[in-house]
A and B are shown apart, each in its own frame.
Chain A
Amino acid sequence: EADIYQTPRYLVIGTGKKITLECSQTMGHDKMYWYQQDPGMELHLIHYSYGVNSTEKGDLSSESTVSRIRTEHFPLTLESARPSHTSQYLCASSESYDEKLFFGSGTQLSVL
């Protein structure tokens, strides 16, 4: 079944650790996105990609980085996690010609 997967669902780590949040989709979508969401707040776009080897920063500045080596895979990396990075991270994908997003279940990150 075509879907979009995020792992892990929950992550609690200490300050200074390097982490990678995984996102994979089996729908063959060219466009992929990372959104950050704090409780009661809007989803903010932090990274997006329109295809392999294409990545752009979103509207909200983020210390994270992304890569798009394969169409189906769009991992997000934090080199040195800090408590300010505590948030929910949502990955999404869409068709090239469509703004309708399909979301993963999210990763809730807590940095102590």
Chain B
Amino acid sequence: EDKVVQSPLSLVVHEGDTVTLNCSYEVTNFRSLLWYKQEKKAPTFLFMLTSSGIEKKSGRLSSILDKKELFSILNITATQTGDSAIYLCAVANAGGTSYGKLTFGQGTILTVHP
């Protein structure tokens, strides 16, 4: 059974701080790892990683995947109150009937105080 574990579960920081969110996974046939940001209700896509060691970057957010150690990190620099959200990590399975289906972690609740 595929499994995704995120840490920490909750994080409270002040504006300007840098945070690192962790995601470890077990999957029978790895296809990709995805990060989502969930504010209010609808998760919105941040990154998809398929190759080890290649950093994806978008503004103050960046992410990297380690396929050997089976984990990914999401970094947010110079945090702002608008970064407050739940950050979800998910893995996609490439095998058979599981093709393309995502397994999600519990999420990390990030709260950024002014």
Q: What residues of chain A have their CB less than 8 Å away from a CB belonging to chain B?
A: 9, 31, 33, 35, 40-45, 48, 56, 58-59, 88, 90, 94, 98-106, 108
User: What A residues does B103 contact at CB under 8 A?
Assistant: 59
User: How near does chain B come to A60, taking the closest CB pair, in angstroms?
Assistant: 11
Cβ-closest 10 pairs across A and B: A99-B92, A106-B41, A43-B104, A99-B100, A103-B42, A105-B42, A42-B104, A105-B41, A103-B43, A42-B106
Instruction: Decide yes or no whether B44 CB sits under 8 A from chain A.
Output: yes
B100 & A94 in contact (Cβ 8 Å cutoff): yes
A43 & B88 in contact (Cβ 8 Å cutoff): yes
13 contacts between A and B (CB under 8 A): A42-B4, A42-B106, A42-B107, A43-B102, A58-B101, A90-B41, A99-B31, A99-B32, A99-B92, A101-B34, A101-B45, A104-B42, A106-B42
B106 & A101 in contact (Cβ 8 Å cutoff): no
B102 & A45 in contact (Cβ 8 Å cutoff): yes
User: How near does chain A come to B43, taking the closest CB pair, in angstroms?
Assistant: 5
**A1 to B77, alpha carbons, bound, how many Å?**
32
User: What B residues does A105 contact at CB under 8 A?
Assistant: 40-42
User: What B residues does A98 contact at CB under 8 A?
Assistant: 100
**A2 to B36, alpha carbons, bound, how many Å?**
19
Q: Which residues of B (9-64) have their CB < 8 Å from a CB of A?
A: 9, 31-32, 34, 36, 40-45, 48
User: What B residues does A42 contact at CB under 8 A?
Assistant: 4, 104-107
A48 & B101 in contact (Cβ 8 Å cutoff): yes
**A100 to B56, alpha carbons, bound, how many Å?**
15
Which one of A45, A98, A100 has the greatest number of beta carbons of chain B within 10 Å?
A100
For residue A95, which residue of chain B has the nearest CB? B100
User: What B residues does A103 contact at CB under 8 A?
Assistant: 36, 42-44
User: What A residues does B36 contact at CB under 8 A?
Assistant: 103
User: How near does chain B come to A37, taking the closest CB pair, in angstroms?
Assistant: 9
User: What B residues does A104 contact at CB under 8 A?
Assistant: 42
